[in-house]
Structure 1
Amino acid sequence: TQTTTYSANETWKIAERIRRLNDLGFEVGELSMSRDKGGTQVSIQPKVVDAGHFSRKIMRLTGMDVEENQARRMMNDIEQYRATHFKSSTPQSIAAHEWMTHVYQPAINAIPRELRGKLEPAEVFHQLLEHRWYMAENAGYDIPSDQVIASFIENVLRNKPDEQSFIGKAAEEVLGPDTSDMSGMAGYFV
């Protein structure tokens, strides 16, 4: 739970540390930047959080209703954006609004129209952040957003099947042809 410090130009290392903290059940309690003779440093202070914390926080800050893992990844990206673009005293709500305007929405808008049915926007962004992290880790340095988005579209998104909706479909279409004896499931369908 101690504070760790990284160079500000190594955001992929910062993202890796945040991932490890999240896997252990921690959130970034504070992400702050400082400048000294050695350059700009980012410090990370972890804190313990309860289940559903990230989803509630994203809903409050952006209005998006997303799954917990998506919300966690988005909150981490918002905090990184806040630390690199604002003073530490800037309210999280302002940073989240700017992040939505300058990071999230442009990334979603960059998806070609014919590929927009592949994944829901929040999942597109979640996977885009994952792709960015892998690209940076492999390269050993941060990759510009436009290159990450282009790579994600060509190497990940184009290969995915379209998401399908099951609303309004018959049980046979969803569950397969062997749904003739569903008597044991009568209590599940109201």
Structure 2
Amino acid sequence: MRFVFTPPAEIATGLLTLPWQEPLEEWDDDRIVEIAQRGISRHIVRFVVDNGRVYALKEIDERLARREFKLLRELDELEIPAVKVLGVVVDRGDDLDAILVTEFLDFSSSYRALFSHPRGPAPTGRLLDALVELLVRLHLAGFYWGDCSLSNTLFRQDAGTLKAYLVDTETAELHASLSDGQREDDLTRAFERVGGELFDLEAGGLLPEGIDPIEVAEEVGKRYAKLWEEITHDEVFRPEEQRYRIGERLRRLNELGFDADEVELLTQGDKVRLRIRTRVGEPGHERWLLYGKVGIVAEELQARALLNDMASFRGHLQQKEGRPVSEAEAAQRWLASEYAPVIAAIPGNLRGRLAPAEIFYEILTHRWYLSEAAGRDVGTRVASKSYFDNILPKVPAGLTEVVDPELGHTVPEGSPPHVPD
């Protein structure tokens, strides 16, 4: 038996003691957990908890396992949203496939879970936007998916929107760049897969009335074409316009989460053609800015909302105290008096429903609505109590809540699994 792990492998050394020489389906170990609202897989997939972390184990042919291991590592290097691969276990014994080990994506949901327990209107549009953005990012990086579908994607909340993460690369291929034919093939497969998945939801009574699976599946191609055109098209303008037009185009790209890899200006008579070679953007500036200031890990839109609240808090401090307050001081005081108390006050039985940054974002939104109704600012503490009493309990248990087989109920993310005496 051989273990091939990515560094730092020491974070999961406890996994080495699992019964690897037995079929995954037959494992009987205290560390095995069941994931609430998990998606559908054509392979045997089980989940284990080790040292406070949850890992997904997929039993698969060795050739495919090694290939997926390699592709997921390459996606990580390209900074494409995808699950993190930890390792692959091979030579487990006669007639036993390899096992691919990936880190579980905390605070994520499957498309089935989002339709089963919708918050507000059906999530169809947000799901499609997230899936299309992921597909465009993959294609810009030269990555042919080969099986673009909702089933092969997990979704995280990001300040009211969804962010898609790729979880299956069995059919994928990485190239220097993709031809139009390869991109069209991916879109054709996406149309077929998404339509089939929505028909499946319809058969199970999970698809809201009025949603046509075919029309929704066709939207994938339409939204993809619109986004692809926006980030790859050439612009033509007069020479005297070029400075502000280039800046305007680059800002639009950045707002969409993409960067310019190469900017080319071509003179055509009395006009200038702007041609931009686009690449996937680096991890969001605001995410890193928030982390650098106060050490909070968040998605990009969450980070933007928290930074805005921090800036508002700084202005409040300066007005109240009649003196300049530095960004560093304001950030630390905001963390201590605004963010940390709210997160600490999350009821224990509701921890794990949403990421802490998403909860704080939703409380900020809730505070705005309460303040509008009251005609005054009600404050974060009042808004958070109202949110914990009336809104968070209605949020469905996410994939981050694992079912403890001994206790028979869900355990909040970060809680240790029950170990029998």
TM value normalised by structure 2: 0.27
Look up the equivalent residue of 1:79 and give its one-letter code. A
Q: 1:119 to 1:166 in 2, by over 3 A?
A: closer
Alignment equivalent of 2:306, drawn from 57, 74, 79 = 74
Q: Kindly provide the CA deviation profile for residues 166-190 of structure 1, in whole angstroms up to 9, marking residues without a partner as x.
A: 99xxxxxxxxxxxxxxxxxxxxxxx
Secondary structure of the 2:377 match is coil
The residue that corresponds to 2:332 in the other structure is: 97
The residue that corresponds to 1:38 in the other structure is: none
Q: Kindly provide the CA deviation profile for residues 34-60 of structure 1, in whole angstroms up to 9, marking residues without a partner as x.
A: xxxxxxxxxxxxxx8954232121011
- Indicate the structure (1 or 2) with the bigger Cα radius of gyration: 2
The residue that corresponds to 1:54 in the other structure is: 286
Query: CA RMSD for the aligned pairs?
Result: 2.3
State how far apart, in whole Å, the 2-side matches of 1:165 and 1:125 are: 18
The residue that corresponds to 1:138 in the other structure is: 373
The residue that corresponds to 2:395 in the other structure is: 160
Which region of structure 1 is more displaced relative to structure 2, 83-92 or 129-138? 83-92
State how far apart, in whole Å, the 1-side matches of 2:382 and 2:326 are: 30
C-alpha displacement at 1:122, in angstroms?
Answer: 0.8
State how far apart, in whole Å, the 2-side matches of 1:71 and 1:144 are: 20
C-alpha displacement at 1:138, in angstroms?
Answer: 2.2
Unaligned runs of 5+ in 1: 1-47, 168-190
1:108 equivalent to 2:340? Answer: no
State how far apart, in whole Å, the 2-side matches of 1:122 and 1:145 are: 14
State how far apart, in whole Å, the 2-side matches of 1:108 and 1:58 are: 16
The residue that corresponds to 1:127 in the other structure is: 362
State how far apart, in whole Å, the 2-side matches of 1:123 and 1:58 are: 14
Bigger fraction of residues in helix: 1
State how far apart, in whole Å, the 2-side matches of 1:163 and 1:156 are: 15
C-alpha displacement at 1:134, in angstroms?
Answer: 1.2
Q: 1:88 to 1:98 in 2, by over 3 A?
A: same
Look up the equivalent residue of 1:93 and give its one-letter code. A
C-alpha displacement at 1:88, in angstroms?
Answer: 6.1
> Percentage identity across aligned positions?
34
Q: 1:88 to 1:65 in 2, by over 3 A?
A: farther
Q: Kindly provide the CA deviation profile for residues 55-111 of structure 1, in whole angstroms up to 9, marking residues without a partner as x.
A: 121011112221111111101111111111136632211111111111000011111
Secondary structure of the 2:340 match is helix
Bigger fraction of residues in strand: 2
State how far apart, in whole Å, the 1-side matches of 2:312 and 2:294 are: 16
**Which structure 1 residue ranges, 4+ long, deviate > 4 Å from structure 2?**
48-51
Structure number with higher relative contact order (C-alpha < 8 Å, ≥ 6 residues apart)? 1
Look up the equivalent residue of 1:58 and give its one-letter code. L
TM value normalised by structure 1: 0.57
Contact map agreement 2:317 2:325 (CA 8 A) in 1? no
Look up the equivalent residue of 1:76 and give its one-letter code. N
Look up the equivalent residue of 2:309 and give its one-letter code. D
Contact map agreement 2:302 2:357 (CA 8 A) in 1? yes
